[in-house]
Amino acid sequence: MKNTMKLTITTLCSILLLGSMSTAVQAAPSQPFSSIALKTAAAKAPTDAEKKKMIEAEKKRIVQIKKNPGDVYLLYVSDKKLNGGSEFLYYVEFPKFKKYEEYEKWTSKLKGAIVQEPEGMPEGYTFVKGEVQSPFSKQFEAQVKAEAKGKVVYSKKMEWTEAGEIKLEYKKGKNNIIFHMQTDYTEDKETKEYRYESAADSLNTDRNQLTWSEKGKMFYISTNPENPLTKEELIELAKTMIKK
């Protein structure tokens, strides 16, 4: 009798123990499953429509930022088909000048080649306007893309210390002279000697133009077709046009 009771009690305990273990086994997955479900929901990729809204919101934000002359913002979009096929967009406020002294002061902080008023400027010509543009850097674009780290859209202010392009214009009555420098983005960056084309003989421009290049920069001096300045006079101006 005692042995029978012991066997019954032992069997009952075994059943209860197995029941508890079964309950534990069944309950255990419920927590990880909930966690996975939450993570999956949180990681759900945005739709194209949602991405488009994010891109347009960032564009609007950049436009609304108060910009100082020389400020450049670069915007990167991971899916360029949502941005008219463009992976990068530049938002710029290029500095413009009506006085040569203002231009000279602003460009004093820049490194590299700078256009300056040449020595021996033809008599009667006065400064009309000037403009400086930043370079368009592939290296900076690569940096911004790397920093985006898979984001739908990302933007950053570009810091630049060398001009990508400069134009200065001088006038005397109906005649004008434009001194122009720009970065050479082509693969062919060999130094080229002075080349002159008159507006009458050229199919590429409607101005008289002297061109040359050196150290990854292209330089131009151009005049209106009726301007009496000769090729030789423009070459003399070219010799002191660049501040290095």
pLDDT at 169: 98
Residue 131 near residue 94 (C-beta atoms within 8 A): yes
pLDDT at 186: 83
pLDDT at 211: 96
pLDDT at 150: 87
User: What is the distance between the alpha carbons of residues 111 and 115, in angstroms, rounded to a whole number?
Assistant: 12
pLDDT at 56: 96
**Single-letter residue type at 11:** T
Q: For 22, list phi and psi in degrees, rounded to 5.
A: -65, -40
Which residues in the chain show pLDDT less than 70? 1-43
pLDDT at 185: 85
pLDDT at 1: 45
Residue 114 has a CB neighbour count (10 Å cut-off) of: 19
CA dist 223 → 114, 197, 206, 239 (Å): 20, 11, 9, 17
pLDDT at 204: 82
DSSP 162: B
Q: Provide the β-strand partners of residue 74.
A: 90, 156
Model pTM?
A: 0.75
CA 99 to chain centre: 28
**Single-letter residue type at 94:** F
CA dist 207 → 78, 171, 183 (Å): 42, 15, 21
215-232 pLDDT, tens per residue? Answer: 899 999 999 999 999 999
Element (H, E) at 35: helix 30-42
pLDDT at 48: 94
